[in-house]
Chains A and B, each alone.
Chain A
Amino acid sequence: MESSLATPQPPASPPVAGKKPTGATEGSDTWRLSDRIGLAICWFLGLLFCAIALAIVIYLLVQGITYLKPSMLVTPAAAGFSEGETGGFSDALIGTMIVATMGMALALPAGIAIAVWLVEYGRPSALARITESTIESIAGIPSIVLALFGTVIFQSTALGFLSRTTEGVVFGRSFFAASAMLSLVALPLVVASVREGLNSIPRHVREASYAVGKTKAATTRRILLPTCRPQVATGAMLGLGRIVGDTAIIVVLLGATQNFSPVEEVPFPLNYLRGAGTTLTNFVYEASPTGNLNQPQKAYAAAFVLLLIVLALNAAVDVVHRRSRKVGTWSQ
């Protein structure tokens, strides 16, 4: 009352007039309209994709639990007239594991080697740039194109020993051929991830190793690569995800038979690897309503198994990351 008599009004202290101050936190209520709309879109899309991912997992979980029978995992697909006679997808499951193992066995060492060369050596720099863009372009090539290219390579007589060969005609489709091409699909992901890991190690850490008389090779093997273990795991997981999920290369380069078709003339593991086969993705495709088998229920069961494999890979990478966090990192 008395203060109002004072002639100059004291300036209102908070800039947001008419609002009750809610502590010293920043709220979006002072933002521009466009920023607020942007924030709302971020929230909406984030929640939407959470919902979509959740819907897929839950749907597959329900379908999978409904239709998946343990016997499917151990019986191969068979010709038959009724649901009971057509068997399961054990060949496809084992096939997936074979291509994943063989593809990764090629892609992981090669990817780590390329990343180490690019980051730690990378000279002459023109060659490094070419290597970089080559790998990027491989990452951009659709796998069906890689598959087509693969047929040209693996049908050549020189590589006949990698697949079924009858009377000089090379079939060109085998686990060897498919794994080799699948490793190309995984390679760029491994390279990118390991490179990122190597680049995140401060320069002075390398120099600390050189400064106690260690060679570049010893530093890379004992310090840099062990430090990059989480990124190596991430790259391997992403690569495996691509290998396990690829269908085009399987159809074109694995023969996409419903069962293993081992070649006769060679001893045990090689006869299967030189022969044609199938994987889970191919089985899902064939069992879907568009495929030859047209048994959607088995497609769901196989898709569920595929999903479980991918989730298990994710969990494994999480474990590696958590373990590396225990070791700590350098303060910036």
Chain B
Amino acid sequence: MSTPPPIRRLSLEDPPAASEATAPPRPSSNGHGPSTGGSPFTATRRSIGAPQFSIRRMEIDDVSVHYGEKEAVKHVSLPVRQGEVLALIGPSGCGKTTLLRSLNRLTELTSTARLSGSIRLDDVDITLIEPTLLRRRVTMVFQQPNPFPMSVFDNIAYVLREQGSRRQKKKTLEPAVHSALSRAGLFEEVKDNLDHPALKLSGGQQQRLCIARALAAQPEVLLLDEPCSALDPQSTQVIEDLIVKLRDDVAVVIVTHNLQQAYRVADHVGFMYLGDLVEYNSASALFNKPREQRTREYVTGAFG
């Protein structure tokens, strides 16, 4: 309990599993279910290849989070890199969401939460960055699709409009709104209905609108808290493809309790259990050759 979990830091030069890059692309990212062999994760991970590059954006260093007396996150250290997707997996209540929320200081909204250790964004401690500025650089998408009750256009424009300044004209915001929607792969579907209420979109479209909203702030890090858990498989696949596409522009951190999903989208995976970071490794290594007993049991479905 008191000893920090073993963490293997992967250096930037660490070659990502070479077999993935050369593997033939598969038509669909579904169907990575259990196949032959001891591990259920022997299939090709996904059609998109290994990361082209990776730049360290955030550094989580010995972070613990307490809610009152309860310690939700215990001495976790992790890098967050642009160019790849980091997935945090683990059973519910293991602290993965708390860790995610502490990356843009959302935990501070809970009055009982206390954080120790340090989190740095581009080598600046995030406690030194004004929260609203930090949250524009590290944006977040939530479990439930939660567009604001206004038009599709206004949802994005709300993020773009600077606080306190005069409301800009719709025309001047248009290019930025369109680009945010395109980056989230939603523009083609909604371009004729930008004035329609956002809450009348389908669940998958709503979630992509939330991603577009988070991207509109031009963040360096995008946090996703179980973004697909309220969605159907088809929308899930669209969003997973989108997540992988985004990794070159922003550092992506995704929390998920869906192991298959982590396997499909992530380049690196951190497995958390009861607040501890049990294992951190590249996705293929963690799923296929887990070093820790706990990880092996979790990824093979012995507990969950």
Contact = CB atoms under 8 A, between A and B. Distances in A.
A327 B158 contact: no
B144 A213 contact: no
A328 B197 CA distance: 7
A214 B148 contact: no
Contacts of B163: 214-215, 218
Interface string A120-145: 00000000000000000000000000
Given A215-B163, A227-B149, A331-B203, A207 B133 contact: no
Given A212-B213, A327-B199, A329-B199, A205 B146 contact: yes
B22 interface: no
Interface stretch (B37-45, B48-56, B134-142, B293-301): B134-142
Contacts of B254: none
Nearest to B200: A328
A218 B136 CA distance: 14
B199 A213 contact: no
Interface of A, secondary structure class, is helix
Interface residues of A, number: 24
Interface in A299-332: 324, 326-331
A327 to B, nearest CB: 5
A149 interface: no
A208 B144 CA distance: 10
A20 interface: no
Greatest chain B CB density within 10 A among A213, A227, A328 is at A213
B145 interface: yes
Contacts of A328: 149, 197-200
A223 interface: yes
Q: How large is the interface on B (under 10, 10 to 19, 20 to 34, 35 or more residues)?
A: 20 to 34
A208 B106 CA distance: 10
Given A205-B146, A330-B146, A210 B135 contact: yes
B142 A215 contact: no
A226 interface: yes
B150 A226 contact: yes
B109 interface: yes
B162 to A, nearest CB: 10
A15 B133 CA distance: 67
A212 B203 contact: no
B3 interface: no
Given A212-B136, A327-B199, A204 B149 contact: no
Contacts of B144: 202, 204, 330-331
B104 interface: yes
A226 B198 CA distance: 14
B214 A211 contact: yes
Interface in B94-149: 104, 106, 109, 132-136, 139-140, 142-146, 148-149
Q: Which 5 A-B pairs have the closest CB atoms?
A: A328-B199, A213-B136, A211-B140, A213-B135, A213-B132
30 contacts: A204-B144, A205-B146, A208-B140, A208-B142, A208-B148, A209-B158, A211-B106, A211-B139, A211-B214, A211-B223, A212-B135, A212-B139, A212-B158, A212-B213, A213-B135, A213-B139, A214-B159, A214-B163, A215-B132, A215-B163, A223-B149, A227-B149, A326-B197, A327-B199, A328-B199, A328-B200, A329-B199, A330-B146, A331-B144, A331-B230
Given A208-B140, A213-B136, 4 more contacts: A212-B214, A326-B197, A328-B197, A330-B144
